[in-house]
Structure 1
Amino acid sequence: MDAVSGLAAAKRVVVKVGSALLVGEGGAPNAAWLADFAADAARLRARGQQVLVVSSGAVALGRRRLGFGKRALTLPEKQAAAAAGQSALMRAWEEAFEPHGVVCAQVLLTRDDTEVRRRWLNARATVETLLDNGVIPIVNENDTVVTEEIRYGDNDRLGARVAQLAGADVLVLLSDVDGLYTADPRKDPAARHIPRVGQLTPEIEAMAGGANAEGGVGTGGMATKIAAARIAAAGGCATVITLGARPRPLAAVEAGERATVIEPALTPAAAYKAWIAGSLAPAGSLVVDAGAAAAVRKGKSLLAAGVTRVEGRFDKGDAVVVRDEAGTEIARGLARYDAEDAARICGLKSEAIEAVLGYTSGPLVHADDLALHALP
């Protein structure tokens, strides 16, 4: 894969935009760059691709609004600046996308939203609904409430976690350099640009942590971008690192301008299924009738109507084993109801669930969250 084909073929793209691109010299939004980027993202959307933006900038914009100047801020001051700046950040994005008839929506996350399975499922459902309705989510860390101990640390890592959450094909990290080099190109004229990384080896990581350490806007430079690429690769997502400080940076990549693409070993769907099948300890079991067993084996969702018994104690989002009536494991998946509610709706048709529970979360286990058990 190269950056051009990877970006052009991606069904879902996450783009991380840092403060240095979003905020101008005087601390106001960089309206010209935002307008160019919005046109770029709208172009992808118009050809059927879904785009999510992970956006820095709230603290920088809030710092200006609150008159904090350029001095170091305490944690409460950072949180206050984030609160004051978030509305300005969203207004800037809305004004940039409005000429293209594109609606954007604010999504604020904390680390628990991508680390705790129940909250992860809820966040994913929100993002999926926004994308299905043609909206571009503008994602940021909820800096108003997070502390240093529970934050992502930088928006490169947040971008990677959002890429995992959304099942994205490509994560684009807009930087102040046009990719990874064998040495720092600002100090070594003989430094070679690396257009493609097939595997994140210790040698590649050493380049990022040493010679490229200062490359990349934000808090962590190139090393955090490589760390983010490793997270994204585990979710089956490729990472593209490229120069952001130019008009329409996504179009520039597709036109062949320099970038580094870091390839994943698996597709997003395959990586997600492998995670469900092999990385999660099941908290319970769902025993299903013959019809449901056959449907699940064909890749269908597990409906409550086909479940005959619930075993164990589990919460929404926990991993469960799906077994047939003979006790044979068919699949593993993530439950969309806790054990108590699952037991209450066993055997019910989908349209009857809300009357019993007062809400519905769809099938007991969605097909997207099911990993079939390999036959011996």
Structure 2
Amino acid sequence: MAQTLVIKIGTSSLTQSDSGQLALSTIASLIEVLCTLRHHGHRVILVSSGAVGVGCARLGLTERPKAIALKQAIAAVGQGRLMRIYDDLFTAMQQPIAQVLLTRGDLVERSRYVNAYQTFQALLQLGVVPIVNENDTVAVEELKFGDNDTLSALVAGLVDADWLFLLTDVDRLYSADPRRNPDAEPIIRVQRIEELASVNTGTSGTAWGTGGMITKISAARIATDAGVRTVITQGRSPQNLLKILAGESIGTQFEPQPRPINARQRWIAHGLIPTGTLILDDGAVNAIRQLGRSLLAAGIIHTEGEFDSQDAVRLCDRTGQEIARGLVNYTSAELQKIQGRRSEDIPNILGYAGAETVVHRDNLVLNS
């Protein structure tokens, strides 16, 4: 059966660890596998890191830059080189590709989110393999994905993918870093992300990359919430993709959630960047969690941050634990005046009739 597959390959798999030069044999092997998947009728999207790493190698730099302007300039150098290599190798397999560069802003604004979805669908219907990366040359810090693990999970949710493969420099997830701890236990299957609370996720990636195991677990949460089965496996062995799809137990597989949230809820939960926090009393927390109710002003104890109406906010209990996210119907200044007050008092306090709810249940997504 034809499926939609999102494959993310990290810088640690694309480049040689000592020099940052491209690992051409790995890239060629990956492309051969992706073309095989296409010939089997699957729809394939590749999320590729490596632009900054390739740019560094091209310019003779010995370490990844930290200044965002320099990093963006180097990404511009590396992205063209990276796409040239992909195009040459895919062309040899007679497989058309397309470059898709995204920023978080493309998923924050609803109309751009829908447009991105339609573009991906058109490319996949044409039999094209989209190659996705963050648009490092224009992304500003507050609208960056931060890592391509998160980007790949959001893309997988956006296109309603069946599988997300996170190709990395270890063969699977372990209870600790197996390179440093010989007693690390392999983790084969994860039913719920909460099972990993005791896992030591280690540091945040290699010298040439930005991701680490913690970002992959976070990406798995985003993807599985959207109903996407997620796998962490060895990037140097792309043939594993074919074996996993054939049913072999390779890598770490994260089970998709049985009742995945819909596209609009995914956009609220993961596409938007919250600009504020609402601290709720126990009654409001129970009404939202257990009864599926909207949030009313009476249930708000405290408001944090500055935000406008229709911005995304976090909804937290008294301890500060986030229970949900949603689109707010009032500005932060308005909420500071009406928090803790009954809905019928709001017109007298504000001088005009506002919305009955602070966050309507249709614009609210519970944390999994």
TM-score by length of 2: 0.66
- 1:339-350 aligned at under 5 Å gives the runs none
Find the partner of 1:53 among 36, 40, 46: 46
Find the partner of 1:11 among 3, 19, 39: 3
* RMSD after superposition: 2.5
| Partner in structure 2 of residue 258 of structure 1 | 250
| Partner in structure 2 of residue 303 of structure 1 | none
| Partner in structure 1 of residue 142 of structure 2 | 149
CA distance in 1, matches of 2:184, 2:5: 30
| Partner in structure 1 of residue 182 of structure 2 | 189
CA distance in 2, matches of 1:271, 1:199: 15
CA contact (8 A) 1:195 1:259 kept: yes
| Partner in structure 1 of residue 362 of structure 2 | none
CA distance in 2, matches of 1:164, 1:274: 11
Instruction: Give the superposition deviation at 1:27.
Output: 3.8
Gaps of 5+ in 1: 1-8, 280-376
| Partner in structure 2 of residue 21 of structure 1 | 13
| Partner in structure 2 of residue 311 of structure 1 | none
CA distance in 2, matches of 1:265, 1:247: 26
CA contact (8 A) 1:205 1:223 kept: no
In structure 2, the CA distance between the partners of 1:230 and 1:71, relative to structure 1 (3 Å rule), is closer
Matched letter for residue 145 of structure 1: V
CA distance in 1, matches of 2:158, 2:267: 17
CA contact (8 A) 1:37 1:248 kept: yes
1:62 partnered with 2:52: no
Find the partner of 2:152 among 151, 159, 165: 159
CA contact (8 A) 2:7 2:45 kept: yes
Percent identity between the aligned chains? 44
CA contact (8 A) 2:204 2:210 kept: no
- CA offsets, 1:286-336, max 9 Å, x none? xxxxxxxxxxxxxxxxxxxxxxxxxxxxxxxxxxxxxxxxxxxxxxxxxxx
Matched letter for residue 20 of structure 1: S
| Partner in structure 2 of residue 213 of structure 1 | 202
1:243 partnered with 2:234: yes
Which secondary structure does the structure 1 equivalent of 2:236 belong to?
coil
CA contact (8 A) 1:10 1:170 kept: no
Instruction: Give the superposition deviation at 1:219.
Output: 2.2
The count of aligned residue pairs is 265
- CA offsets, 1:245-301, max 9 Å, x none? 22534135357363111111137xx5326838998xxxxxxxxxxxxxxxxxxxxxx
In structure 2, the CA distance between the partners of 1:276 and 1:104, relative to structure 1 (3 Å rule), is closer
In structure 2, the CA distance between the partners of 1:231 and 1:93, relative to structure 1 (3 Å rule), is same
| Partner in structure 2 of residue 75 of structure 1 | 68
CA contact (8 A) 1:177 1:215 kept: no
Deviates more, 1:77-86 or 1:61-70: 61-70
- 1:325-336 aligned at under 5 Å gives the runs none
In structure 2, the CA distance between the partners of 1:265 and 1:254, relative to structure 1 (3 Å rule), is closer
Gaps of 5+ in 2: 270-368
Find the partner of 1:234 among 214, 220, 225: 225
Instruction: Give the superposition deviation at 1:87.
Output: 0.8
Which secondary structure does the structure 1 equivalent of 2:38 belong to?
helix
In structure 2, the CA distance between the partners of 1:136 and 1:260, relative to structure 1 (3 Å rule), is same
- 1:235-314 aligned at under 5 Å gives the runs 235-254=226-245, 256=248, 258-266=250-258, 271-272=261-262, 275=265
CA distance in 2, matches of 1:45, 1:266: 28
TM-score by length of 1: 0.65
Which secondary structure does the structure 1 equivalent of 2:41 belong to?
coil
